[in-house]
Amino acid sequence: MTPINTMQRLTVNMLRLGLAGLFAFLVLNNTMLRAAEQAGQSIKQADDGSVTLGAAEVKIEGPNAQLEGGEVKDIMWWTSADTTLRWTASVRMPGHYRVELTYAIIGNNNGSPLTITIGDQIVKAVPRAGSGFNDYQTGTAGEVTISKSGDLPVIVKPLSKSHEFVITIRSVCLLPADAPNEANDIGGNAIQQSAAGSFKLTAGEADINGMNAQLERKGEKNIGFWRDVGTSLIWWIHCEKPGDYRVELDYSLMGSYEGSKVAISVGDWTVKAKPQPTKAWTDYQIGNAGQVTISKPGDFPVVVKPISNPLGFIMNLRSIILVPAETPTEAIEIADKPITQAADGSLKLTATNAEIDGQAGRLEGGEKKYIAWRNSPDGFIKWPVRIDKPGTFSIQPTYSLATSTSTRQVQIDGEGQKATVTLPPTVSDSSKVSVTVAGQTVDNTLKAGSGWDDFKTETLGSVTVTQGGDFEVIFRSPEPLGTLVMHLQSVSLVPVGKESSEVEGD
**pLDDT, tens digit (0-9, with 9 covering 90-100), for 445-460:** 999 999 999 999 999 9
Segment 2-9 shows an average pLDDT of: 47
Asked if residue 127 has pLDDT above 60, the reply is: yes
Asked if residue 501 has pLDDT above 60, the reply is: no
pLDDT for 246: 98
pLDDT band for 161, please (50, 70, 90 cuts).
Answer: low
Residues 305 and 80: their CA atoms lie apart, in Å, by 23
CB 36 within 8 A of CB 56: no
* Range of weakest confidence among 50-64, 90-104, 149-163, 403-417: 403-417
pLDDT tens per residue, range 225-260: 999 888 999 999 999 999 999 999 999 999 889 889
Per DSSP, 360 falls in state: S
Q: Record the pTM.
A: 0.70
Residues 484 and 442: their CA atoms lie apart, in Å, by 20
> Coil, strand, or helix at residue 6?
helix
For 134, the enclosing helix (H) or strand (E) is none
**CB-count exposure of residue 420 (10 Å: 0-12, 13-18, 19+):** exposed
- Looking at every residue in the chain, the average pLDDT score rounds to 87
- Under 8 Å CB-to-CB from 362, ≥6 apart: which residues? 310, 311, 356, 371, 372, 374
Domain with CATH 2.60.120.260 in the chain: 43-185, 191-333, 339-502
Residues 343 and 447: their CA atoms lie apart, in Å, by 32
User: 324, 306, 303, 323: which is closest to 315 by C-alpha?
Assistant: 306
pLDDT band for 504, please (50, 70, 90 cuts).
Answer: very low
* Reported CATH class of domain 339-502: mainly beta
Neighbour tally for 304: CB within 10 Å:
25
Span 43-185: which CATH code? 2.60.120.260
Distances (CA, A) of 235 to 99, 189, 238, 262, 432: 21, 10, 10, 15, 42
Please report, rounded to a whole number, the percentage of residues in the chain having pLDDT higher than 70: 87
Nearest-10 Cα torsion for 305, 309, 315, 319: -10
Residues 206 and 305: their CA atoms lie apart, in Å, by 12
Segment 99-112 shows an average pLDDT of: 81
Asked if residue 393 has pLDDT above 90, the reply is: yes
Segment 163-168 shows an average pLDDT of: 77
CB 444 within 8 A of CB 433: yes
Asked if residue 36 has pLDDT above 50, the reply is: no
CB 473 within 8 A of CB 491: yes
pLDDT for 414: 67
Residues 442 and 458: their CA atoms lie apart, in Å, by 14
pLDDT for 3: 45
Please report, rounded to a whole number, the percentage of residues in the chain having pLDDT higher than 90: 63
Residues 139 and 482: their CA atoms lie apart, in Å, by 46
Segment 167-189 shows an average pLDDT of: 91
- Give the right CATH number for 191-333 from 2.60.120.260, 2.120.10.70, 1.10.3080.10, 1.20.1070.10: 2.60.120.260
pLDDT band for 29, please (50, 70, 90 cuts).
Answer: very low
For 11, the enclosing helix (H) or strand (E) is helix 3-39
